[in-house]
Amino acid sequence: MSVDRRTDTEPEAGAETQDENLVELKVFRYDPDVEEKQKPRYDEFLIPRERGMSVLEALIEARDRFDPSLTFRHSCRQAICGSDAMLINGQHALACKTLVEDLAEPIRVEPLAHLDVEKDLVVEMEHFYDQMAAVEPFFDPDELPDDALTEQRQSPENREQIKLSTRCIWCASCMSSCNIAAGDNEYLGPASINMAYRFLMDEREGEQRGAERIEHIADDHGVWRCQTQFSCTEVCPKDIPLTEHIQALKREAAKKNLKFW
Amino acid sequence: MAEPYDRGIIEDFGRWKGFSAGMWAWILHKFTGWILIGYLFMHVSVLSTALVSGDVYTQTIQGLEGLAIVRVMEVGLLAVAVFHIMNGTRLLLVDLGLGLDQQDKAFYASLLLTAIIAVASVPTFLQGAF
């Protein structure tokens, strides 16, 4: 089988690109440490097509077969680690969850938008993690049971209420899609607010902790920044209704500040 | 480690295209809002001619209404106002957390209703304009 790697950005109308046995990938390349890659460009890879092949598998093939310097994050390959969120044909997606056969070719693979690119498809996640940490995303009840072995039980209804918010895999797709987050570096962002929702709505935490959490998320760069563009909800690979959760927290914040009775 | 890549260049290099209904609704809402604010100033200035005298006001209004372009713009103004009201209602529902999974359909319905009302208003606004 003839397999070729192309580095020209303008594909030639050749027989190889028409080959049905090959998948054509156009991958964003950038590396500040390598002179010829300091100016971003796209590299084209022709990968042997496999049935049920994911974009991640195609990228791994491109790296292992043609260019070991091709850099991207991946780990679990089953849409749970959140490492391989990227733009695939201009849409936010997890590469491991996106099948090649569902996409128009050539498949354009780019790093997440609105986040600094470190190298190739790897983006700077530090800011995202800082925002996640800012809402203190851990269970922190007002009172602990006297006995360390006593279970802290949650009602099935309450569990149902927060169920979807617990699905977050920290992939940063929502942050990348959010135009408000792009324009305001201090904005907590959808994932972080969703995390606050997960604990704020947890009935076991208690009122005092809840009030502290509300105070934090009702900050100028908190929930009120959300303009309900629904981009985060659209792109979330775990189908978390992020806007809905942000709106719920806005109402909680309003309730806290507008008590006339 | 090298400095992270300057995001400025990537904007020219290939962009995210995930423009969904909610985003269009947001853009149109801002756009129509600014038009309505602009119109408000114009409206007040036209009304203020009545401070000079009733005749000046009548002449101003008749002069404006005599221009075909003003009649056409009135249809546009109605469309802008109707969309802003409809989408504003959609946003109220969104704020109340009602029907959030239907918000895109609500946006399309706002567009459709705006179009229907604007088209239906054409005979009234353009009567005798040409």
Which tokens is A197 given? 């929702």
Task: Label residue B128 by pLDDT band (50, 70, 90).
Answer: confident
Quick one: CATH architecture of B26-126? Answer: Up-down Bundle (1.20)
Q: What is the pLDDT of chain B when averaged over all its residues?
A: 88
- State the Cα angle at A67 between A66 and A70, rounded to 5°: 135
What digits encode the pLDDT tens for the residues B50-92?
999 999 999 999 999 999 999 999 999 999 999 999 999 999 9
Find where tokens 């990348």 sit: A176
- A241 and B101 within 8 Å at the Cβ level: the answer is yes
Give the ipTM of the model, two decimals please.
0.79
At B9 the pLDDT is 54
Nearest to residue B97, comparing CAs of A132, A191, A166, A161? A161
Interface-testing mutation among A231, A232, A249, with chain B (most B C-beta atoms within 10 A): A231
Task: Label residue B17 by pLDDT band (50, 70, 90).
Answer: low
- A230 and B101 within 8 Å at the Cβ level: the answer is no
Cβ-Cβ pairs closer than 8 A, A with B, add up to 93
Q: What is the pLDDT of chain A when averaged over all its residues?
A: 89
What digits encode the pLDDT tens for the residues B88-122?
999 999 999 898 889 999 999 999 999 999 999 99
Chain A residues whose CB is inside 8 A of the B22 CB are 228-231, 233-234, 243
At B18 the pLDDT is 67
pLDDT over threshold 80, residue B23: yes
Q: What residue spans define the domains of chain A?
A: 5-122, 126-257
Q: Tell me the shortest Cα–Cα distance from A231 to chain B, in angstroms.
A: 7
Q: What is the mean pLDDT of residues A189-208?
A: 95
What digits encode the pLDDT tens for the residues A72-98?
999 999 999 999 999 999 899 999 999
At A179 the pLDDT is 86
Q: Domain A5-122 belongs to what topology?
A: Ubiquitin-like (UB roll) (3.10.20)
At A14 the pLDDT is 47
Chain A residues whose CB is inside 8 A of the B100 CB are 241, 243-244, 247
Q: What residue spans define the domains of chain B?
A: 26-126
Residue A21 in contact with partner chain B when CB distance is under 8 A: no
Q: A126-257 maps to which CATH number?
A: 1.10.1060.10
- Residue-by-residue DSSP string for chain A: ----EE--SS----HHHH-TTEEEEEEEE--TTSGGGSS-EEEEEEEE--TT-BHHHHHHHHHHHT-TT-----SSSSSSS---EEEETTEEEEGGG-BGGGS-SSEEEEPPTTS-EEETTEE--HHHHHHHHHT--S---SS--SSTTS-----HHHHHHHHGGGG-----HHHHH-HHHHH-TT---HHHHHHHHHHHT-TTS-HHHHHHHHHHHTSTTTGGG-----HHHHH-TT---HHHHHHHHHHHHHHHH----
